[in-house]
Structure 1
Amino acid sequence: MTVRLIATDLDGTLLRDDLSVSPRTRRALDAVRAAGIEVVPVSARQPRGIRMIAEQAGFTGWALGGNGAQCQHLTTREVLFEAHVDVAVQQAVAAQLAERLPGVLFVSVRSGGEVFIAQDGYAELAHFEDHKRDPATMGRHDLAAVLAEPSLKFIVRHPDRLPAELIMDVRALGLDGFAVTHSGAPFVEILAEGVNKAWAVAKLSDHLGIDRAEVLAFGDAPNDAELLAWAGRGVAMANAHPEARAAATEVTVSNQDDGVAMILERLLDDAG
């Protein structure tokens, strides 16, 4: 397999549990870039969250954030594409879900991922690690304000429901016009219809003139499953969710044991 693009998830995959890039992983990333291979972070994080670790990882080019809803260049800030959840879709989901699940709360992420409009009460449930954002900056908005504009990512959270349960609740509404996923964080993420990490990497690959068979992908969570199945070679981490493992063509060691670096080192050895 000829690899021209490496698409890697961050949290639970490239990053160790303390959110660091190990020296071994950084050496491996630098080596594949020196070999002319494009390395692209593909994350549920917004670009601002990706930029928090960009220097550690040496990321300076294209980044796919919001589970694929946006493609932004980390250096020039050029936006290649964005996909938004329609206002009408958000309103329908919120109205029906609030009736079914009292206490459910919503967030609209807008404007390149920089604007975070959280419903009153959401910040009390949140921690910095959830969104790589201080809860004190999330605001306290009424639901009408949350639903007023299209979202790159529409977040659904309930104080007593696990993400896997919430996804079933959303799907049970029987509505269409959106995609829903979760990344292991304590909420679910609603995206524009058809949007996921595979969709985004496919669009970027087309832009770069790279074939699907030339893509090597890494991931660990349910929101990585489509990408791992789509890529020419999909690698799940040993710590991966069963959905990600089932979608992958192979499994490497855990993020704590530098599983991405191990595969990249072998890739270069085989090419050498």
Structure 2
Amino acid sequence: MITTIALDLDNTLLNSNKEISAENERVLKELHEAGKRVILCTGRPLGAVQHLIQQLELTQPNDYSITFNGGLVQNNVDQEILAQTTLTKQQVELLYQDAKQRNYPLDVLGPDKVYSLIEFGKSDYEKFMNGMISFEDVKFAALPADQTFGKVVSSAPAETVSNTRAGLPKDVQDNFHVVPSRPELLEFLPAGVNKAVGLGQLLGNFGETLDNLMAFGDEENDLEMLQAARVGVAMENAIPLIKKAANVETLNNNDDGVAAYLKKYFEM
């Protein structure tokens, strides 16, 4: 039985205006009130999705979100951490050294802010986040050594992102799960971390498995959760890799694709 609905955000649950449509909101609220878990699964930190949590009223004691693309499983209400996998400054330095040689931008996501490594030039990542989390411009030497980090991102034109990924040295590939979340954003997660891992940890907390999961996605960072879910749903606007991995396809993100499939599956 499907007990849990996992939702990627950009270009899946959110439309092109980065909003949850009225129909998606209505259907998800109805299912949540009926007892289904509704889990936002995102690369962003929890603070950057609180407005969406409030809109969907995902504020019950057992409501959680998957953030940092599976690296952090956190309660929506008290922000208690159920599971977490992080990066050290020493690991980030592997990326820093490669970026210094090949000249690509890096932003490092800490527990409460994003550190933009300005030695490589300011990326457009702060503009993309649009005030959802605070940023600090630093040189690598000033990156706090006593903190751990959720992930590192490289925000750049699609061609730069593609070239960056293609040329990564072995030590970076061994220490990170490297995946694009859109053509212009390459994400460096802790090795072994993906959305399916976080969802498995969450469902295990409730004595369930990924066989109880329905997941929606559109990009490569959604791949593992769509493969692992009992029902993996690709958006019409998804990349070919995701459509191939999914069980079914729904309408695009601007045509309430999430709501359309949920209404059909749950006979609403």
TM-score when normalising by structure 2: 0.89
| Residue in structure 1 matched with residue 261 of structure 2 by the alignment | 263
> 2:152 & 2:44 partners in 1: Cα distance?
13
> 2:163 & 2:5 partners in 1: Cα distance?
32
| Residue in structure 1 matched with residue 40 of structure 2 by the alignment | 41
Deviation of the 1:13 alpha carbon: 0.5
For residues 222-261 of structure 1, what are the structure 2 equivalents within 5 Å?
A: 222-261=220-259
Q: 1:190 aligns with which of 188, 194, 197?
A: 188
> 2:75 & 2:46 partners in 1: Cα distance?
9
Give the number of aligned pairs: 264
Deviation of the 1:132 alpha carbon: 4.0
Q: 1:139 aligns with which of 128, 136, 140?
A: 136
| Residue in structure 2 matched with residue 70 of structure 1 by the alignment | 72
1:5/1:210 contact within 8 Å kept: no
User: Which segments of 5 or more consecutive residues in structure 1 lack a partner in the other structure?
Assistant: none
CA 1:247–1:181 in structure 2 vs 1: closer, same or farther (change >3 Å)?
Answer: same
> 1:29 & 1:215 partners in 2: Cα distance?
15
> 2:218 & 2:87 partners in 1: Cα distance?
25
Using the aligned pairs only, state the percent identity.
Answer: 25
Deviation of the 1:196 alpha carbon: 0.5
| Residue in structure 2 matched with residue 207 of structure 1 by the alignment | 205
Aligned AA for 2:4?
L
Deviation of the 1:23 alpha carbon: 1.5
1:224/1:244 contact within 8 Å kept: yes
> 1:195 & 1:24 partners in 2: Cα distance?
32
For residues 1-272 of structure 1, what are the structure 2 equivalents within 5 Å?
A: 2-60=1-59, 61-99=63-101, 101-102=102-103, 104-111=104-111, 114-120=112-118, 124-126=122-124, 128=126, 130-133=128-131, 137-146=134-143, 148=145, 149-158=147-156, 161-170=159-168, 175-184=173-182, 186-269=184-267
> 2:208 & 2:121 partners in 1: Cα distance?
41
TM-score when normalising by structure 1: 0.88
CA 1:154–1:125 in structure 2 vs 1: closer, same or farther (change >3 Å)?
Answer: closer
2:3/2:212 contact within 8 Å kept: yes
> 1:168 & 1:4 partners in 2: Cα distance?
39
> 2:32 & 2:238 partners in 1: Cα distance?
25
> 2:171 & 2:68 partners in 1: Cα distance?
23
Deviations 1:59-86 (A, max 9, x none): 2220111111111111111111211123
> 1:8 & 1:77 partners in 2: Cα distance?
19
1:72/1:81 contact within 8 Å kept: yes
User: Which segments of 5 or more consecutive residues in structure 2 lack a partner in the other structure?
Assistant: none
Deviation of the 1:32 alpha carbon: 1.2
2:94/2:171 contact within 8 Å kept: no
